[in-house]
Amino acid sequence: MHRKKIVIIGGGPAGYIAAVRAAQSGAETHLVEMSQLGGTCLNTGCVPTKTLLGIGEFYRKAKLAVVPGVKSLAELDWPSALAHKNAIVKRLADGVSWLLNKNGVHIHNGRAILLPGLRVQTGDKILDSDAVILAVGSTDSGLEFPGFDNEGVIDSAEALSLREPPDSILIVGGGVVGMEFATLYTCLGSQVTVVEMLPEILPDTDAEIARSLREKLQADGIRFYVGAKLSKVVKTENALDAYIIINGQQEKHSADKVLLAVGRKPNISGLGLESLGVRTNHGAIAVDENFMTNIPGLYAVGDCNAVMMLAHAAMGQGAAAVGHIFDGMQYYKHTHIPVCIYTSPEIASVGMTEQQLIEKGIPYVVGRFDLSGNSKAVIAGESGFIKIITGNEFGEILGVHMIGPGVTEIIAQAALCMNMEGTADDLANTIYAHPTVSESMGEVAMAVTNVQAPGCDRPRGATGPGVRQAPECDRPRGATGPG
């Protein structure tokens, strides 16, 4: 029997997962990486950002003594924080290398160029293959304006390695990256200003949740300019003067640093795509439902296809492409992929938003539970809410959206339920541990199914076309569950 040979270009989440799956499936597997194993997520994205966010949030709580019974003597040791971040990145990157080696993946360090006939050149080697998987990731979109190249105008990678937290920072972009850095530097004591071109931050997020986060961050001292545009940055002796256009008027705002966080774009240049006639779409590699390009046997997974630019989506796509190579099947449900935003409070969602359902004309029911009625949230001194959206006729879960403490850890239960074609009844009939934030899923599921949750006595009108009435639980604080 012919042993398949698969070449993967890129060692980020999509690439190394694809490589491990291919090797475990019996293929002779080669992975070409020109930089660091683990990709952006591990080295300059998800992992270092979340490490510093954890340190920043702990420091903020300790410094402000927001926990009753705790007095503050907290001091920030930034060099130690950076050393801890770097140690975690190295440990996890070493783990990726170990995993690839353990599974017999051949690792090639260098740039890869595609050749006709599913061949890949790296250095002076030419690798033949039965299939090639492109997992080359993305890069910062960047933004060019007068003064964009001034010292102190930085990108997200530089923002993770500053010698010290700036006294003030202006963040251009109110998306996920911008909001996470806004949270981080606010926790560290910086004065943060956010400039967003659209009318609201987090444009792809449930509108009520985006507004709730902005209001919370404003209360923490962050200044927002929405519907605004950065026109230029002028370097002065002591700072950077950023000129912002809002409502047709230009305002000047001074800051020590200007962070460009306007999104990412597929990193597909220099691969030889054009010479092979690989089809692209708006700067991304075009793929079908199996992540195959228009060239048979050539796949593109992760950020480079721009289907969903998330590390865990990239991992799922890498595994799906390998599955298709081996048995013609892939198991990737794009509608059931959770999105997590590690702000304070956290945000998590899966499925469609109300606005998306309205635009599609899909009737729905929405239930909502305020975490002021959840014992664990009250104990933690946190707030937020969870909403579940179901189909109007059958009760299938169409979307779940959360803001509050630890919601990034509990969104998986919603994704699992959706993946198994579960309904709100399934969530409502589950017995949850008490006290936990996750038991709020049962409460909001009871709301959306019109089951009267204990302590609920007031109906709430659900919104959207063709919805029926869904009650909301307005319970006394800390009244979650029996007793």
Q: Please state, as a whole number, how many other Cβ atoms lie within 10 Å of the Cβ of residue 308.
A: 16
Q: How far apart are CA 456 and CA 480, in angstroms?
A: 11
- Look at residues 231, 211, 176, 230 and name the one whose alpha carbon lies nearest to residue 50: 176
DSSP per position, 104-135: TPEEEES-EEEETTTEEEETTEEE--SEEEE-
Give me the residue label for tokens 């256009």: 245
Evaluate whether 337 touches 313 at the Cβ level (below 8 Å).
Answer: yes
> Torsions phi, psi of 253, nearest 5?
-135, 125
Q: Which of 84, 106, 312, 434 is catalytic?
A: 434
| Cα gap 34→43, rounded to integer Å | 14
Strand positions, DSSP E, 181-310: 191-196, 223-226, 228-235, 240-246, 249-255, 257-260, 264-266, 280-281, 284-285, 298-300
By C-alpha distance, which of 252, 300, 273, 444 is closest to 366? 444
Residue that has been written with the tokens 């640093």 in this structure = 257
Q: Answer positive or negative: Cα dihedral of 6, 9, 12, 13.
A: negative
State how far the alpha carbon of 365 is from the alpha carbons of 161, 395, 450, in Å: 46, 8, 10
β-bridge pairing 385-391 and 364-370: antiparallel
Give the pairing type, strands 5-9 and 28-33: parallel
Dihedral angle sign, alpha carbons of residues 321, 322, 326, 329: negative
Query: Tokens 């989506």 appear where?
Result: 313
CB neighbour list of residue 139: distance below 8 Å, 6 or more residues apart: 40, 264, 265, 267
Respond yes or no: is residue 334 known to be catalytic.
no
In three-state secondary structure terms, 298 is strand
Rounded distance between C-alpha atoms, residue 389 and residue 414, angstroms: 11
Q: Which residues are catalytic?
A: 434
